């Protein structure tokens, strides 16, 4: 079919250019005239840019346009940041939420501390080759990754060693290994998923031994290699600092993607609850906010992730000079903390997964808590939960957008509420 010429009107929420009649074209910018494939179900493939925008810049990564990770490296940074901030304002306004939108806080390149590396094996005659990479844009294929401007350099330096390790993960023909790699203070924490189990169980004793030998002899600091709760190698417990506490991470545990953005979030949360004496940290994880909050207030912390809660509990005794911390393993989706349990609390902090905290927000709305801080990785569910609070008498005082996932359509935020 014949290529078409399209004019891009704006950039949509996911980072693709959009024409006036709603056709999405990736890797394009407002005002550009482009050649594209005939639209199919509202999407077209970019073939070439006829008239480039003055805001178009050279991408910093050689994998850009092929790799499915970044979608906006071709956009001038200040305009891109304004777009992200405007997206937050638009979603909140559509929900009927008017508030102050603070300047966006942007994570610098080379600070992302966790990545998911997909492993593939290729047979060429008698040779077997293993590659690690990210998923290709809109494809199940992958791009071999040799550089990554957003990632902590320690992650990229480890790819040759991790490739050697991945070569021993294909004993089952249906295995599609994914190595989730996190930079911890004591070395890299590698959690392996996508391994099909044979009748005899997981990996063979030979594969386990080979992986341990590679890890032991590598000059890369590898703290642990695990498959769920199965430890394949461990030289140290992977640990991170949250405030004054050192927390040993359970396998596969959640961390904010960038310690830089995490520090921004912690500072915003602490500032919002300054002067309070009793604070709840709901969806607390392993204690990202719990321990900094406990420097000035007693804290009730709850989360449904048992491993994270146990790690938080274990770290309390090793953290000096903190106010009391009460910890509970609790599914806050099915069993939210009810309003009556919040009697005496001065503030509530909640940081749920992408699905948001609808049931918990309904209980906070019924409570007498005077101050609430919502941390969110999803503008849509934050707006829904914020609406529940404002309809119950809270005011959304301000929202701070945080660009933790650089050059993507993804934006996080911290919202502060008061009665």
- Binding annotation: 256, 283, 303, 351
- Residue closest to 369 by CA, chosen among 272, 294, 285, 259: 272
User: 307 and 251 in contact (C-beta within 8 Å)?
Assistant: yes
The phi, psi pair for 220, rounded to 5°, reads: -85, 140
Helix (H) or strand (E) holding 123: strand 114-124
- 115 vs 155: CA distance, rounded Å: 8
The phi, psi pair for 258, rounded to 5°, reads: -130, 130
Q: What DSSP line would sit under 233-252, residue for residue?
A: EESS--EEEETTEEEEPPTT
Q: Which residue has the tokens 């891109």?
A: 80
User: 170 and 203 in contact (C-beta within 8 Å)?
Assistant: no
Catalytic positions are 377
- 19 vs 30: CA distance, rounded Å: 9
Using CB atoms within 10 Å of the CB of residue 307, give its burial: 0 to 12 exposed, 13 to 18 middle, 19+ buried.
middle
Binding annotation for S-adenosyl-L-methionine: 256, 283, 303, 351
User: 349 and 273 in contact (C-beta within 8 Å)?
Assistant: yes
- 319 vs 340: CA distance, rounded Å: 30
Helices (H), 289-392: 290-293, 306-316, 358-366, 379-391
- 40 vs 298: CA distance, rounded Å: 56
User: 104 and 85 in contact (C-beta within 8 Å)?
Assistant: yes
**CA-to-CA dists, residue 321 to 292, 295, 347, angstroms:** 11, 7, 21
- 235 vs 216: CA distance, rounded Å: 8
């Amino acid at each position: 079919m014949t290529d078409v010429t399209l004019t891009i009107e704006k950039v949509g929420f996911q980072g693709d250019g959009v024409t006036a009649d709603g056709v999405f074209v990736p890797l394009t910018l407002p005002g550009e005239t482009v050649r594209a494939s005939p639209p199919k179900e509202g999407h077209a493939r970019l073939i070439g840019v006829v008239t480039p925008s003055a805001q178009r810049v050279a991408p910093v990564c050689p994998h850009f346009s092929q790799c499915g990770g970044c979608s906006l490296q071709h956009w001038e940074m200040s305009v891109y940041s304004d777009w992200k901030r405007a997206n937050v304002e638009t979603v909140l306004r559509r929900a009927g939420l008017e508030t102050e939108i603070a300047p966006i806080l942007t994570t610098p390149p080379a600070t992302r501390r966790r990545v998911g590396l997909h492993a593939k094996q290729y047979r060429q005659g008698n040779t077997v080759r293993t590659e690690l990479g990210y998923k290709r844009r809109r494809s199940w294929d992958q791009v071999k990754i040799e550089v990554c401007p957003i990632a902590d350099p320690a992650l990229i330096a480890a790819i040759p060693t991790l490739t050697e390790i991945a070569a021993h993960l294909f004993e089952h023909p249906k295995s599609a290994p994914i190595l989730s790699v996190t930079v911890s203070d004591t070395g890299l924490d590698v959690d392996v998923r996508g391994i099909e189990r044979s009748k005899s169980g997981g990996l063979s004793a030979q594969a386990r031994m080979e992986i341990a030998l590679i890890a032991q002899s590598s000059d890369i600091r590898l703290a642990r290699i695990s498959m769920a709760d199965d430890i394949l190698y461990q030289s140290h417990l992977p640990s991170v600092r949250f405030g004054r506490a050192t927390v040993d991470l359970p396998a596969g545990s959640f961390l904010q993607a960038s310690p830089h953005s995490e520090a921004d979030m912690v500072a915003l949360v602490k500032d919002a609850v300054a002067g309070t004496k009793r604070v709840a940290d709901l969806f607390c994880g392993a204690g990202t906010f719990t321990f900094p909050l406990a420097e000035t207030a007693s804290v009730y912390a709850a989360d449904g992730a048992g491993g994270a809660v146990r790690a938080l509990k274990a770290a309390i005794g090793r953290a000096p000079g903190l106010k009391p911390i009460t910890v509970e393993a609790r599914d806050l989706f099915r069993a939210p903390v009810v309003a009556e349990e919040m009697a005496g609390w001065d503030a509530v902090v909640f940081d749920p997964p992408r699905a948001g905290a609808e049931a918990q927000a309904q209980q906070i709305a019924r409570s007498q808590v005077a101050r609430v801080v919502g941390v969110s990785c999803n503008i849509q569910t934050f707006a829904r939960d914020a609406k529940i609070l404002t309809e119950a008498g809270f005011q959304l005082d301000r929202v701070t957008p945080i660009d933790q996932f650089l050059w993507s359509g993804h934006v996080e935020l911290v919202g502060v509420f008061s009665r």
